[in-house]
Amino acid sequence: MLARVFGLVGAMLLAVVLASCSPLEGDGRHLVPLSGAAKAQLAAMGSSPQAAMMVRIFKEESKLEVWKQTASGSFRLFKTYDICTWSGELGPKFYEGDRQAPEGFYTITPGLMNPNSNYYLAFNLGFPNKYDRAHGRTGSHLMVHGACSSAGCYAMEDEQIAEIYALAREAFSGGNRSFEVQIFPFRMTAENLAKHQSSPHIDFWNNLKQGHDFFEVAQVPPNWDVCDGRYVFRQPSAVSAAASMAGQCQPVTADQSIVSAYMAKQTADAAALQSAIVRAADAEAAAVQAEERRVAAQAEMEARGEALNSAVNGFFGTLLSPFGGAQPQAQAMSEPVAAEMVAPQS
C-alpha cells in the first residue's frame, strides 16, 4: 500500500516537472491542428502543411494572403483573409507611439511566434528591421494577432489567426527556419501608383514594388537586404560571389531569366503608369470642368430666379396699388395730389 502511495506521489511529481517544460502552455490554442478542409486544400494545390509559406498584406484593401510552396518549388496562393482592423494610414511606421502599422519586408522566425498573446495568438513582425533601423525608425511589439483590436498592428479575427498560426507552426515543423511577410500600402498596380504619385512616400513605395515584382515574376519570395538605405532583393538560390558583389546595390540579383522577366515587367509597368497618370490627369481636368459647369449653371439659375421674383413683385405691386397695396414709390408720387386737394380748405 505504501509503495502505491509513493508511486502515485512520484508520478504526480514527474507530471509537474514535465508540465513545467511542456509546450502545452495556456489552453493549448497554439497547438490546435489544421482543419481537414485546410489540409485537403493544400494537397489539392500540390502543397502540404510542412511546406514553406509566405504572407502578403495589402493595407488599403485590408487583405492578408498566405502563400504556400508547392512540389514544383513555386508558391501558390492558399487563402486570402480579411484583416479585421489596422491602425494609422497608408505609409510606413516612423516612431514609437505613432500608432502606425508598418510597411516593408519582415522575416519571421520561431522566436517571434507568441502562443501566450493577450490577443489570442500572435506573431511579432520583428519591427524595426534592418531597413527601419537604417532610417532611424523606432517601435516595438508590432504584431499580426487576433482579438480584432489594433494600436499599430494588423488584427485578425481569432479563428483566422488560429489558422494562420497553425500554418506557420507546421511550416517550422517541416524544417523551414523562417517565413517572409511582405507589407504593401495597396495593390502595386499602375492605377494605384498613379493615384498616389503626390504622396511623400512614393519613393519608398516604388522600392517596395521591386520586391513585389520579384515575387510576381519568380513566384518565390526573394531574400531581401538593405544597401544605401534601400531594399535590395536576391534570388534565394545560390548566386556566385562575383555576381553578388557586382549586383550588391542592384534592385534584383538573380538568374538571368528572372532578371529579364523582372526588367520586362518594369518596362511594361512604367508605360502603364504613364498612361494611368495621363488618364488620372484627364479625369481630374474633366471633373474640374464639370464642377465649373455646375457652378455656372447654378449661378445662372439663381440669377433667373431673382429676375423672376423681381418681375412678379413688380407686377403684383402695380396690380394692388389702387387697393392700398402700392409700393412706396407709388405712394410718394400720390402725396402732392393730396396736398393740392387740402390746400383750398385752409
Q: Give the active site residues.
A: 145, 153
Contact 189, 63 (CB under 8 A): no
Tell me how many degrees the CA angle 74-79-80 measures, rounded to the nearest 5: 120
Closest CA to 138 of 195, 98, 196: 98
User: Would you report the helix, strand and coil content of the chain in percent, each value rounded to 5?
Assistant: 50, 15, 35
* Cβ-Cβ contacts under 8 Å for 157 (sequence gap 6 or more): 84, 146, 148
CA distance 118 to 123: 12
The H or E element that residue 247 is part of is none
CA atoms within 13 A on the CB side of 299: 6
Helices (H) and strands (E) in the chain, counts: 9, 13
Count CA atoms closer than 13 A to 56's CA, side-chain side.
28
Sheet containing 223-227, strands listed edge to edge, beginning at the edge strand earlier in sequence: 223-227, 230-234, 252-253
C-alpha 236 chain-centroid distance: 26
Q: State the pairing for strand pair 143-145/154-155.
A: parallel
Contacts of 210 (CB under 8 A, 6+ apart): 231, 233, 251, 252
E strand intervals along the chain: 53-58, 63-69, 75-82, 85-86, 104-108, 113-114, 122-124, 143-145, 154-155, 179-184, 223-227, 230-234, 252-253
